[in-house]
Amino acid sequence: GLFGGKRALEVVKEYSKDGRPIKGKVAVVTGANNGAGFETAHALAVAGARVILAGRRLDAIKEAIRSIQDKLGNAENAGSVEMIPDVPLDLEDLQNVRNYAKEFQKLGCPLHLLVLNAGVMAQPFRLSPQGHESTWAINHLGHFLLCQLLMDKLRASQPARVICVSSELHRSAPNPDQEFSNWTHPEKYSWMEAYGASKLSNILMAKELARRFHDQKLDIIAVSLHPGVGPTGLAKEGLSGVLIGLYRAIGGMILFSHEQLAATSTFCCVAPPSSLVPGEYYARCAVMKTSHPLAEDAEKAEQLWKKSEELTKEFSAPLN
């Protein structure tokens, strides 16, 4: 049909038949104030988790929390939603990412589910405070650093999961001979390529995380996913109607509601470990083939990891 796909709450229901797999677990969802991030946070709270909503605009996060609390009402077995008071997460600024991780650590709670959902697309060219192309900085590098800084917390909270929200548009990443964050020249900049590169980076990061978790014998699952194509808050800046039309067209005309866009992220959090293949790319709650020649390239994944370490090293010293 035109509107395809399960909704996040249906996924929760399906996996809550034999008990409540994430009841009492602690989740952090980035970009949780609207769209799929909001619906993912809502679904995880319905499933019984303690969900911490992270985002750049504190007023929007507060509003989202109120809204989810209203929806939860006095539901039996529901979890809770909260934020770290007065602490924004601005993924574009690595110093801010470090500050957020520090404040999270002060909460003294475990971390079982890290959902790296925040993202921007169709940005006009600009550089981050640390001088990286902003789409890649926000969608990949900020999340990479956040994950690094919270790694000790994830290890201490095993079994845990890291969920990297990517996109089918990873196919628009530039050719292999171009470096990932190579758009420091505005005249060469294409927002579609920059977005594609950031989303390919999400897939490669999940692959490399999975490899490392496996080698270190850690009970932490990392996966990436394509949420579907639908109305999102990603493209507030500069996406004309024509481009939105095109973007929808590549979705095979299947448009997802926000609740459907959150289904696969929710699935990756609540499904039993036996239903997930570490390092894989998911769509519609199942493993999906990637659509870029580099997406399965283990060597490229390792290169990206090293490069990301290099670019964040000034901010990545252990928090303790």
Q: What is the pLDDT of residue 139?
A: 97
* Residue-wise burial string across 146-164, b where 16 or more C-beta atoms lie within 10 A, e elsewhere: bbbbbbebbeebeebbbbb
Give dist(CA 7, CA 41) in Å, integer. 13
Other residues' Cβ atoms within 10 Å of the Cβ of residue 184: 12
Stretch 213-228: mean pLDDT: 96
Other residues' Cβ atoms within 10 Å of the Cβ of residue 264: 29
Q: So which residues are the catalytic ones?
A: 195
Does the pLDDT of residue 242 top 70, yes or no? no
Q: What is the pLDDT of residues 112-159, one digit of tens each?
A: 999 999 999 888 899 999 999 999 999 999 999 999 999 999 999 999
User: Which residue bears the tokens 């639908």?
Assistant: 230
Of the candidate ranges 4-8, 61-65, 307-311, the one whose mean pLDDT is the lowest = 4-8
Q: What is the pLDDT of residue 173?
A: 86
Stretch 155-176: mean pLDDT: 91
Other residues' Cβ atoms within 10 Å of the Cβ of residue 134: 21
